[in-house]
Amino acid sequence: MARKLAAGNWKMNGNRADLDQVTALAAAHRDPGVDISLCLPATLISEAATQLANSPIIIGAQDCHSAQSGAHTGDIAAQQLSDAGARDVILGHSERRIDHDEKDALIRSKLIAACKAGLRPILCVGESLAERDSNQTLERIGTQIDGALESRDSLPCGLVIAYEPIWAIGTGRTPSLEQIGEVHDFMRDKLGARYGDEDADSVPLLYGGSVKPGNAADIFAVSNVDGALVGGASLKEADFSPIITALSMS
Ligand code: PEP
């Protein structure tokens, strides 16, 4: 069985003053019974990791470079994130695929870099609305998973996969529970075909896209949903806490 995981993605939001939300979350979930990860802007990782040293909450990052070091102005290496206190890293988020034109091959090399640095990759996959409307969802998800895992004969370091339909991110819209279940079953089967059922079952499959306190419990009841990647609702402890509680009760 995969471990349950509630992961937050603060995106390009938050200053040091907002770390009070992180400490409030830690105070509210001293023994959560599920994994909790907060993927923060790089500027906050070191301070948050220090403040959460005695908490089960994991601090993560939102991207890394594929190289270990070098002349890449403005970029951050996986090992530097690890050195700052990160243990997770989101890779292939649709906002990076769109804003920075990231392709599957690059995401694959970032995944390799993350593993080398000891970070757990949270690989994001998801279809556009046009792909959903033209019945290409599973094909798109399959291509993204194959692209990121190409020629790997064993599961990468603690891999997590987040299904995030692009049209559901930050929009308040979500797929139906049947649609979420269809994609999650597909991802589990795909991993099983690659690595065998036992390894496939160990991969936490998260749903992401407008998860809120009001819809979390229904989403967590869907088969093969092991948790959520949460954007907007992870910024405030008051919104993220009930989502974590719903996961721990699922
Ligand atoms: C995300 O960006 O990963 C996300 C799921 O955002 P939101 O929850 O705000 O839709």
Examine the residue annotation and report whether 93 is marked as an active-site residue of this protein.
yes
For the question of residue 184 being annotated catalytic, the response is no
Q: Is 37 left (phi over 0), alpha (psi -120 to 50) or beta?
A: beta
Cα(182) to ligand 1 centroid in Å equals: 20
Using CB distances shorter than 6 Å, the residues near ligand 1 are: 9, 164, 169-170, 208-211, 229-233
pLDDT at 48: 98
pTM: 0.97
Quick one: which of 106, 71, 76, 73 has its CA closest to 91? Answer: 106
CATH, residue 147: 3.20.20.70
Q: Is the pLDDT of residue 157 over 90?
A: no
User: How much is the average pLDDT of 24-41?
Assistant: 96
pLDDT score at 156: 75
- Pick from 47, 49, 42: nearest CA to 64: 42
**Candidates 37, 123, 211: which one to mutate for ligand 1, based on the most atoms within 8 Å of Cβ?**
211
Convert the pLDDT of each residue in 168-193 to its tens digit: 999 999 999 999 999 999 999 999 99
- The pLDDT value recorded for residue 65 is 98
Question: How many Cα atoms occupy the beta-carbon half-sphere of 142 within 13 Å?
Answer: 12
Q: Which of 65, 93, 127, 184 is catalytic?
A: 93
Number of structural domains (the chain) is 1
Q: pLDDT, tens digit, for every residue of 37-85?
A: 999 999 999 999 999 999 999 999 999 999 999 999 999 999 999 999 9
**Residue pLDDT, tens place only, 97-138:** 999 999 999 999 999 999 999 999 999 999 999 999 999 999
pLDDT of 2 > 80? The answer is yes
Cα angle for residues 100, 103, 107 (degrees, 5° grid) = 95
For residue 23, the one-letter residue type is T
Residue 203 is part of which domain span? Answer: 5-248
Q: CA 165, CA 180: separation in Å to the nearest integer? A: 9
Point out the ligand 1 atom lying closest to the alpha carbon of residue 212. Answer: 8
Q: 93 pLDDT exceeds 80? A: yes
